[in-house]
């Protein structure tokens, strides 16, 4: 097993999106006079997750997901809001979140000198670039590929084709994707014909999507790749 090119997901792989989302939702709900309870958060996350799954399947555009989600959420509470305005507020709060996930910075510092490392992420370009910059991780990557810029999203093969075309000398058998999502990172890697490393700290079921490798902590990655 000899890899040269590492493709890293961002959210809940190297940055703690759960913390970022929680802080942003707290601030946003406060603007509407609401406290972020566990129940409200669960309702929002279920709705939001379903919308992003539809995006991954190509059933919704990214703009439909982001611009309509808060309207749909507050509608379920019997409250009419300006969904686009709330999205813009939420985005500003979200951009501020850059908490590292575990020892991801140390792991990247260890791997970057020995591999060609890249970011492959679904989401909004401005948000992802700002968060990676604020977390001081940009220097570890040769390039950052965000679905908004590519016109496609993980797990679509077209997303990976776009990425592969822009990485000089890439060879699929020397390339591996590291991510927490079975439905976008691992399935996407399989569709693209590359190996996969599933970060699975909560020991979730594979749901029939079998990664090449599975780790519980990002700390295990260097030994896996360099061992």
Nearest Cα to 206, choosing from 226, 181, 223? 181
Which residues form the catalytic set?
9
The three-point CA angle 81-41-94 to 5° equals 70
Count the helix, strand and coil residues of the chain and give each as a percent rounded to the nearest 5: 50, 15, 35
Pairwise CA distance, residues 20 & 180, whole Å: 16
What are the residues facing 213 on neighbouring strands?
197
Q: What ranges make up the beta strands (E) of the chain?
A: 5-8, 116-121, 143-146, 175-179, 195-199, 213-215
Q: What are phi and psi of 183, to 5 degrees?
A: -75, -25
Cα torsion angle, 17, 18, 23, 28, sign: positive
For residue 33, give both structure tokens.
Answer: 């006079």
What SS3 state is found at 117? strand
């Amino acid at each position: 097993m000899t890899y040269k090119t590492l493709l890293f997901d961002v959210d809940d792989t190297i940055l703690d999106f759960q913390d970022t989302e929680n802080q942003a939702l707290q601030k946003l709900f406060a603007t509407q006079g609401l406290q972020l309870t566990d129940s409200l958060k669960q309702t929002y996350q279920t709705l939001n997750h379903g919308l992003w799954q539809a995006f991954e399947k190509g059933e919704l555009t990214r703009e439909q997901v982001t611009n309509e989600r808060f309207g749909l959420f507050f509608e379920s509470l019997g409250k009419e809001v300006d969904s686009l305005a709330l999205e813009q507020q939420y985005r500003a709060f979200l951009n501020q979140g850059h908490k590292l996930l575990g020892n991801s910075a140390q792991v990247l510092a260890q791997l970057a000198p020995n591999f060609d490392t890249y970011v492959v992420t679904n989401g909004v370009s401005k948000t992802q670039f700002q968060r990676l910059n604020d977390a001081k991780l940009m220097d570890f990557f040769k390039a950052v590929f965000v679905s908004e810029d590519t016109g496609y999203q993980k797990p679509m093969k077209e997303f990976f084709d776009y990425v592969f075309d822009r990485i000089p000398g890439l060879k699929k058998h020397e390339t591996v994707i590291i991510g927490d999502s079975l439905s976008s990172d691992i399935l996407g890697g399989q569709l693209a014909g590359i190996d996969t490393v599933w970060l699975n700290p909560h020991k979730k079921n594979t749901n029939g999507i079998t990664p090449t490798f599975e780790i519980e902590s990002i700390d295990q990655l260097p030994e896996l790749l360099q061992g």
